[in-house]
């Protein structure tokens, strides 16, 4: 019997491998080094290729797709500048633990290192910002490398993996065999938590007088929101979220304290500073959360649940680590703990902090404020929209004033803080989600960084609501200049250089609106949310000199927050 396997080109092996991985969407941009792949792609029927208008846009789109779908996002770009244009998107995904596989074309193997046309050492460039990367030297290794890339990206702590494909490897031929399993020496992610550690944690939590759950994006990545909510409710423990953890616990639940950290709520930060047991789940004790680590939860016994062992004791000393998958560990903890009423004094104290310093702002009279717009968006969507935030003041106001009730509903650049993220990420979200409102919110500065992807949205008639909070400033930088840099507004005033945003939208065939009037917001939102077969753009002309409060100064203790302007006038 003839058992000889089918001979295939590298390009054929590439697409057959993607088919076996269940890939349905791929975001990319063609070029010389990938032309053979795009020739084959012309006839591929099992996946959809989305042509973005920039490789950074492709990477952010794949990022947004991965965050809301739970699948691995896939990118295909050419060599040289095509590959280097993905770097910011890769770094963004790496910081936020988003599973991506990025395929980059490369010059032929014999030209690598010769400064050939459109050559860049993308493996060397991205080594610090990928979970792993590969340069495929032999077509016989292509299928197994792709299998490894998807496995590494999706398992353990997720992250981006890059696969560099020389032009000759894509054209070469070999027998095709796709491996069923993956064995990688030295890479064995721990899923189950140590039973003794779990039992010990249960005992500590059972005896706690003032426990607090500090929850990060790892809970969402582990699909553990249901278990987290059950654990918090069953044991009567208040919950605070990181920026990327928002949505892991219902934002409208009375036990929810809002976000903690630099722009967190006063009562969340006070709860952290005064709890006796802090249970961190899927969070990494980021500096924007902890402030001064010497004073962070100083008196608390700290339990840290995380799938990444390198995150334990990295920034803050931990009393009881449990390494493993958050979903599995919370399930085991639930078995160990029966319903536990808490002393009313702890919740009474939290209510006192809420009364002393509630999350509030001056309601608009004749001036439109970003907080007001976000509150109205939250009311109109009942917390059911997917909000894709850019970076800046509006990002923090979204975290404060939008009530997220579901996981994978808040898409934001957390660790890297990438301006220009929202528009392309929203494109990726729209290719994953079809039954919920999709809202991209950007400042006027960030909007201009990747607004070419409006073309992608318009071409595909994606039902995205693109909202611009236009204060004519690089608002967050301006805020720091006002508070800490002697009000020297150096190169943050965009008033004289901003384009007419509605004309940009109209030029691309996107229905566009603009308002500065608070009385028009509700009616305009009703009109916009009724449009569900194409993108729409709205510019909100908001207060120019508004500040995000509360705020912890950089390096300060989170228990010491600024609640109002240092300069009462707040004038330039």
Catalytic machinery residues: 55, 117-118, 167, 476
Listing DSSP states for 227-267 in one string gives: HHHHHHHHTT--EEE-TTTTTSS-TTSTTEEEE-STTS-HH
Angstrom CA distances, 202 to 213, 268, 325, 534, stand at 13, 23, 17, 50
The H or E element containing residue 15 is helix 10-20
C-alpha–C-alpha distance, residues 454 and 52, integer Å: 9
Contacts of residue 379, Cβ cutoff 8 Å, sequence gap at least 6: none
Alpha helices in 33-114 (DSSP H): 35-41, 55-69, 81-84, 87-95
Strands 239-241 and 211-215: parallel
Angstrom CA distances, 533 to 318, 438, 442, 446, stand at 50, 12, 21, 25
Strand partners, 323: 306
Angstrom CA distances, 442 to 170, 199, 425, stand at 39, 45, 12
Under a CB-based contact definition with an 8 Å cutoff, are residues 429 and 386 in contact?
Answer: yes
Half-sphere exposure of 399 (CA within 13 A, CB side): 30
The H or E element containing residue 221 is helix 217-221
Token pair 């423990």 is found at 237
Strand partners, 215: 241, 281
């Amino acid at each position: 019997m003839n058992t000889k396997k089918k001979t295939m080109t590298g390009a054929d092996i590439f697409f057959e491998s993607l088919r076996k991985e269940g890939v349905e969407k791929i975001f990319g941009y063609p070029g010389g080094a990938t032309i053979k792949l795009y020739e084959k792609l012309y006839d591929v029927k099992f996946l959809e290729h989305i042509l973005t208008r920039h490789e950074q846009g492709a990477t952010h789109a794949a990022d947004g797709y991965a965050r809301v779908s739970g699948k691995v996002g896939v990118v295909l770009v050419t060599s040289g500048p095509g590959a280097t244009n993905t770097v910011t998107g890769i770094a963004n995904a790496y910081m936020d633990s988003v599973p991506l596989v990025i395929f980059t074309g490369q010059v032929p193997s014999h030209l690598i290192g010769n400064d050939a046309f459109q050559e860049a050492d993308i493996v060397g460039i991205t080594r610090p910002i990928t979970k792993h990367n590969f340069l495929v030297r032999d077509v016989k290794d292509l299928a197994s490398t792709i299998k490894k890339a998807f496995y590494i990206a999706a398992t353990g702590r997720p992250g981006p993996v890059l696969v560099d494909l020389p032009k000759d490897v894509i054209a070469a031929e070999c027998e095709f065999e796709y491996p069923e399993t993956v064995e990688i020496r030295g890479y064995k992610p721990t899923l189950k938590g140590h039973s003794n550690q779990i039992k010990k944690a249960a005992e500590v939590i059972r005896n706690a007088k003032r426990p607090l759950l500090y929850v990060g994006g790892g809970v969402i990545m582990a699909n553990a929101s249901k278990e987290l909510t059950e654990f918090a409710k069953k044991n009567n423990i208040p919950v605070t979220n990181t920026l990327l953890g928002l949505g892991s616990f219902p934002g409208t639940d009375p036990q929810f304290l809002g976000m903690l950290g630099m722009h967190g709520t006063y009562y969340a930060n006070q709860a952290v500073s005064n709890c006796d047991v802090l249970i961190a789940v899927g969070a990494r004790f980021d500096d924007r959360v902890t402030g001064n680590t010497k004073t962070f939860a100083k008196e608390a016994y700290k339990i840290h649940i995380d799938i990444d062992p390198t995150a334990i004791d990295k920034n803050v000393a931990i009393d009881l680590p449990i390494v493993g998958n958050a979903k599995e560990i919370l399930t085991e903890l639930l078995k160990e703990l029966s319903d536990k009423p808490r002393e009313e004094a702890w919740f009474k104290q939290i209510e006192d902090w809420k009364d002393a310093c509630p999350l509030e702002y001056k309601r608009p009279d004749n001036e439109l404020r970003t907080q007001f717009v976000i509150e109205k968006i939250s009311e109109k969507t009942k917390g059911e929209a997917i909000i894709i935030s850019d970076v800046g003041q509006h990002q923090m106001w979204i975290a404060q004033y939008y009530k997220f009730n579901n996981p994978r509903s808040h898409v934001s650049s957390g660790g890297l803080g990438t301006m220009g993220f929202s528009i392309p990420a929203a494109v990726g979200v729209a290719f994953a989600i079809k039954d919920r409102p999709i809202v991209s919110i950007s400042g006027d500065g960030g909007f201009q960084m990747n607004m070419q992807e409006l073309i992608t949205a318009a071409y595909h008639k994606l039902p995205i609501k693109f909202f611009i909070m236009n204060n004519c400033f690089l608002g967050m930088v301006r805020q720091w200049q006002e508070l800490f840099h002697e009000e020297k507004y150096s190169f943050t005033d965009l008033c004289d250089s901003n384009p007419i945003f509605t004309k940009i939208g109209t030029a691309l065939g996107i229905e566009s609106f603009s308002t500065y009037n608070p009385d028009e917001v509700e009616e305009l939102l009703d009109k916009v949310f009724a449009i569900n077969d194409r993108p729409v753009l709205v510019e909100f002309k908001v207060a120019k000199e508004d500040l995000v409060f509360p705020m912890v100064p950089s390096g300060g203790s989170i228990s010491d927050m600024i609640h109002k302007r240092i300069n009462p006038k707040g004038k330039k």
